Amino acid sequence: MPRPGLDPAAVEGLLQWFANEARDLPWRTDRSPYRVWISEIMLQQTQVETVIPYYQRFLQAFPGVEELAAADEDRLMALWAGLGYYSRARNLQKAARQVVREHGGVFPEEPSTVRALPGFGDYTTAAVLSLSMGQDLAVLDGNVARVLARVFLVEGSVKTGPVRKQLQALADAGLPTGRAGSYNEALMELGARVCRPKPRCAECPLQPVCGAFREGCQEEFPSKNETRVRPCHPCVVLVVRNGKGQVLLHRREGKGLLGGLWELPSIRSLVKLDSNPATPAQLSSLLDQARAGLPEAPVGAAGPERHLPVFRHHYSHFSIEVHPQEIEREVQELPADWRWVSVADRDGLGISASDRRILEDQGA
Ligand code: SF4
């Protein structure tokens, strides 16, 4: 099942941030396809500050696609000199000639036609069509990839095909219909100015939904290596209900990763899983241990039990494959570090992200 992207409230926060913080850049004042296209090609591998004077001189010399198509090659190269990657300028002119020859000088609207122009890849196609024509296409450049890899804890190098595909799917899934231009620019701007390699999370509108911020591992994402293998351990978590709308929580001891937090009773195996899920025998044994760890254990099968959806949760150095199990128990005498908690009580307690997810999924 594809993962959902940013939820609508997070996208609204991002767009609001962009409306307040967007830099005043020359290519943002006129959104014709030609101008967006020139700026996007110049900005590939080149800093914004460097591009600005080049962009202004280029537009003065070649204000439209016809002038670029007819330009003298020496003049074109002289105007590009210093920006590097000269094939970009040559492809610009080739594409301009194609637009004039095959489309009467009007920039095409069909993504596959645009994608076939010299110098156009997926990114440039989506950028030009979304920013200048409002087409619902999400871009994925290095800045957007860094933001999404952190928010959704996407592992693996963003240079690999499967990871890029995953990130593109996340970018697509969050795209608000009819507002692709602002959404794309906002994500790119956020990556360029806030979610930088050294992120400034205090200024970030996505902080409330960011997995890397929550886990404190921002700089581990995106991964530098081709693959990032974290050990993954099976874990059984009990959602113990007492029939009065309450669930049983236990305060974790110590100063470790989750020390002092209130948590659902659980047991984590030291066994490391590979890509396969835990076996039924492993789970059955873990479940017995988890039940035996409850106060007044063993308490017998007091009510029906139910398997809840399994998920993987990532910490900075390991992952857990969480198998939540809902059970009913009457436990009268609770030790000091255990308590029954209702939804209202729960909001005031420190509860780990993984347990909070289980409770929210169950409406507990
Ligand atoms: Fe990036 Fe920090 Fe924002 Fe997460 S909270 S998206 S790591 S700047």
User: Which residues make beta-bridge pairs with 268?
Assistant: 235
Residue where a domain stops, chosen among 161, 191, 220: 220
Residue where a domain stops, chosen among 220, 253, 268: 220
Confidence of residue 3 (pLDDT cuts 50, 70, 90): low
Ranges assigned E (strand) in the chain: 232-241, 247-251, 262-263, 266-268, 306-307, 311-314, 319-328, 338-341
Number of domain units in the chain: 2
Tokens 């995953």 belong to which residue?
A: 166
pLDDT tens digits for 211-249? Answer: 899 888 898 899 876 555 678 889 999 999 888 888 999
| Range of the structural domain that residue 292 is part of | 232-361
**Could you tell me if the CB of 153 is within 6 A of ligand 1?**
no
**Could you tell me if the CB of 204 is within 6 A of ligand 1?**
yes
Asked whether the predicted pLDDT for residue 339 surpasses 50, the reply is yes
Asked whether the predicted pLDDT for residue 20 surpasses 90, the reply is yes
Distance, CA 223 to ligand 1 centroid (Å)? 15
3-state helix, strand, coil in the chain (%, to 5): 45, 10, 40
State the pLDDT at residue 291: 84
Distance, CA 12 to ligand 1 centroid (Å)? 16
Q: Determine if residue 162 is left, alpha or beta; phi over 0 gives left, psi from -120 to 50 gives alpha, anything else beta.
A: alpha
Are 33 and 112 contained in the same domain? yes
**Could you tell me if the CB of 207 is within 6 A of ligand 1?**
yes
Q: Give the alpha-carbon dihedral of 128, 130, 132, 133, to 10 degrees.
A: 120
Is 226 part of a structural domain of the chain? no
pLDDT tens digits for 130-156? Answer: 999 999 999 999 999 999 999 998 988
Are 196 and 251 contained in the same domain? no
State the pLDDT at residue 14: 98
Are 159 and 257 contained in the same domain? no
Asked whether the predicted pLDDT for residue 317 surpasses 50, the reply is yes
